[in-house]
A and B are shown apart, each in its own frame.
Chain A
Amino acid sequence: MNISKIANLKFFYTKTQRISIYLSFSTFVLFCIGIYWGLFIAPEDYLQGNSYRIMYVHVPAAWLSLQTYMIMAVTAFIALVWKIKIMEIISIQCAPIGAFFTIIALVTGMIWGKPTWGTYWVWDARLTSELILLFLYIGVIVLYSSFVDKRQAIKITSLLSIIGLINIPIIHYSVEWWNTLHQGPTVTKFDKPSAHITMLLPLLYMFIVFNLYFLAVMIQRIRLGIYIREKNSKWMEDLSND
């Protein structure tokens, strides 16, 4: 059982060395294509002119920020129940990635808000929930770094991630309730533009590219995690002597 776990990590570390280079490079290229598409090819919006194009980075970042938290919590659960090492590494490495996505979503949201609604920040349901999500990520990161014994750190942090996941729908619902109570039934601020396929297609494309980015960074971070854990083990030393 022990041997298969180590073999798992070694397998991952050695096999991903070349894949990660190709993946990272192609993600970069696809990302550039997506940026060009979103900025110059997609048509101008009837209401918002060209500033709606911020959506092509804001919305995928927001989706990914939520998705990353779910992945973090699910892998945390698997790590706690089945004690699989690589799941522990994946779970804790999701946190900084997710935090970056959340920061991008918040800042681009603010930048989008200024031309569209005149203010940088509004306490609407989505932005406020996103801000709380950032606090949840920061909590996980800070809790993990406070423990000296990293094995205990990962267990406690996994528990926090899982409880946080349960809390996210509750927070989202309560913030939405709070928001409609104070603003009345106005249109939610950052509704996606309705229906036109030439505007939605680059959005879908960017979502896929952001996911590829997530994969590429995840592989880098898993490799970092494996190295830190196993740097004193025999197979890692053999590898660096090759």
Chain B
Amino acid sequence: MIEFFYMGKHTVFVYVAYIFSIVVLLLGFIIPYYTLKKEIRLKNDKDNKKK
């Protein structure tokens, strides 16, 4: 099983690079997604407070 994932002498480098890119790409998606949700929630809270 491990041989399948083995990437040669510099295995660590390959996986670190891929994981870093995946994390940053995910972050890039999550940040606007949750910011929008947060903005909507904040506005609804403000409206409800006014009422």
Contacts and interface: CB of A to CB of B under 8 A. Distances in A.
Touch test A–B (CB under 8 Å): yes
Contact of B33 (A35, A57, A100, A220): A220
B18 to A, nearest CB: 6
Contacts of B8: 44, 49-51
Contacts of A111: 13, 16-17, 20
5 contacts: A31-B25, A49-B8, A57-B21, A221-B32, A231-B43
B33 A49 contact: no
Interface in A180-224: 213, 216-217, 220-221, 223-224
Contacts of B35: 224
Interface in B1-51: 4, 7-11, 13-14, 16-18, 20-22, 24-25, 27-29, 31-33, 35-36, 39-40, 43-44
A67 to B, nearest CB: 15
A57 B28 CA distance: 15
A235 to B, nearest CB: 14
Given A53-B7, A224-B39, A100 B14 contact: no
A227 B36 contact: yes
Q: Which of A49, A93, A213 has the most CB of B within 10 A?
A: A49
Contacts of B14: 39, 50-51, 53-54
A163 interface: no
A73 B17 CA distance: 29
A220 B36 contact: yes
A26 B9 CA distance: 34
A24 interface: yes
Contact of A224 (B17, B25, B32): B32
Nearest to A222: B32
Interface stretch (A76-84, A102-110, A165-173): A102-110
Given A24-B29, A40-B4, A100-B28, A227 B39 contact: yes
5 tightest Cβ-Cβ pairs between the two chains A and B: A115-B10, A50-B7, A50-B8, A49-B8, A220-B32
Contacts of A231: 39, 43
Interface in A219-242: 220-221, 223-224, 227-228, 231, 240
A35 B18 contact: yes
Given A111-B17, A217-B32, 12 more contacts: A50-B14, A51-B9, A53-B7, A53-B14, A58-B17, A107-B17, A111-B16, A115-B9, A216-B29, A227-B36, A240-B43, A240-B44
